[in-house]
Amino acid sequence: PYGMRTLSLPDLSPAQLVAAAARPNIDFTAAFATVAPILAAVKSRGDVAVWEMTAKFDGIEVEAPDATPAAFPLAAFPDPAEQIPEATRAAFDRAYDNIAAFHAAQKRRADVPLEVSPSPGVALSRIESPIEAVGIYVPGGTAVLPSTALMLGIPAQIAGCETVVLATPPVKGSAMPDGGLPEIAPEVLYCARKCGVTHVLAAGGAQAVAAMAYGTGSCPKVDKIAGPGNQFVTSAKMMLQNAGDALVAIDMPAGPSEQLCVADEYADMRFVVSDLLSQAEHGKDSQVVLVAVGNFDMDAFRAELDRQLNLLPRADFARASLGHSVVMLAPDLASAMSFSNLYAPEHLVIQVRDPRTTALPLVRHAGSVFLGPFTPESVGDYASGTNHSLPTYGYARMYSGVGVETFMKSITVQELTKEGLLDIGPVVEIMAGVEKLDAHKNAVTIRLDAIRNGEV
């Protein structure tokens, strides 16, 4: 339906399976070539270059680009609460509470002391420390995404980051007056206030990533950048992480959003289709995969897809996404989950009978899992409490989604007594000798001699 390829899992060779799990190709070579001059311009000309790019790509009219800061302290913006309906504020507040509860539990776990003594006189420990300055990227190209401000801002807040720069483009078609403030979506500002954001960078795209990585006259330089984005944002993150002059880390390389749904004959077709379309409407480069298990009714699926798709305001986005999506026919749940693990989806929706006991134990690679008929992907996108900033494009095989640990780092500590050094020192001497690193060996030998001679 709508250009979705329909494949039968048992009929595919290993090579065909790999091809079926492949995402629509992203030409990163072309994207890198587009992004490189943007990064260079922001590095050399700072705020001026940021506004030039923002005017060019986002249609923002800037009165004085040579004298206008690109970033502003959050406190400079008026309280946006009055611009937002009470019910909307209450929804954001409820989402904040749930997300904060889940991420605070992660922090409590990180705060548990890790202390080990592998041998007498050797004390080892690990301490957790927040990254001091972080950048969080909140897209605003085809939709306003205040939920992303919560998903990135809350874990940074709970981690204890001192400086949090939120980058998001000004409202499309707005103007940047000389000496004034950019027009930022009030919902994003509301969430930023709740999350303790310190600065707002009025820019999106590669120019925003570069401004946070290098710093500008108005934008603090950050140590790590997190958040989703299009291929140009992702390319900028990847390039800057590998640029020695930027000295910045990223959360993960991420591509277009995606969902894989495993459904069997017991699934409610309305729920299956609504989940797939909730992902397909994200953008024309999104991808959805339906893995239909056993006696799943494909005719009913097609009919329900027609019905729901024609009711969507963003149907054009969804149709384009469906055009490079897949229906995989699987004879049983085991083979369905095997294909899911090969695909390693950002969002894994499982609508089969008793999914917690039958399917969840088979999950190996996924960004986030949504179990059962009453867990639409949308709840994770907004308010269940888990994070919606997740690895895509197969990176769930080796990356985790954003959490408190994204904004923290671990520091190991060791302390030896005389007895401890007498015990493992000879081991170090032998190993350093094998590697012919005499200074390493001497650092131990000198101490051992001093201990054995009673000098210390």
- Residues with a catalytic annotation lie at 346-347
Sequence-ordered list of residues with C-beta below 8 angstroms from that of 309, at least 6 positions apart, any chain: 2, 277, 315, 318, 319, 322
For residues 233 and 229, give the distance between their C-alpha atoms in angstroms, rounded to a whole number.
Answer: 5
Q: Beta partners for 164?
A: 134
For residues 61 and 54, give the distance between their C-alpha atoms in angstroms, rounded to a whole number.
Answer: 9
Burial of residue 79, with CB atoms counted within 10 A of its CB: 0-12 exposed, 13-18 middle, 19 or more buried: exposed
- Calculate ∠ Cα 220-226-232, nearest 5°: 95
Which two structure tokens, joined as six digits, stand for 176? Answer: 């940047």
For residues 58 and 52, give the distance between their C-alpha atoms in angstroms, rounded to a whole number.
Answer: 10
Burial of residue 66, with CB atoms counted within 10 A of its CB: 0-12 exposed, 13-18 middle, 19 or more buried: exposed
DSSP category for residue 406: G
With contact defined as beta carbons under 8 Å apart, do 280 and 325 qualify?
yes
With contact defined as beta carbons under 8 Å apart, do 55 and 43 qualify?
no
CA atoms within 13 A on the CB side of 79: 4
For residues 389 and 24, give the distance between their C-alpha atoms in angstroms, rounded to a whole number.
Answer: 20
Cβ-based neighbour number of residue 6 at 10 Å: 12
Q: Which strand (E) or helix (H) includes residue 370? A: strand 368-371
Using DSSP, state whether 416 is helix, strand or coil. strand
Largest pairwise CA distance in the chain: 87
With contact defined as beta carbons under 8 Å apart, do 177 and 148 qualify?
no
Go through the chain and tell me how many residues it has.
456
With contact defined as beta carbons under 8 Å apart, do 227 and 251 qualify?
yes
CA Rg value for the chain = 26
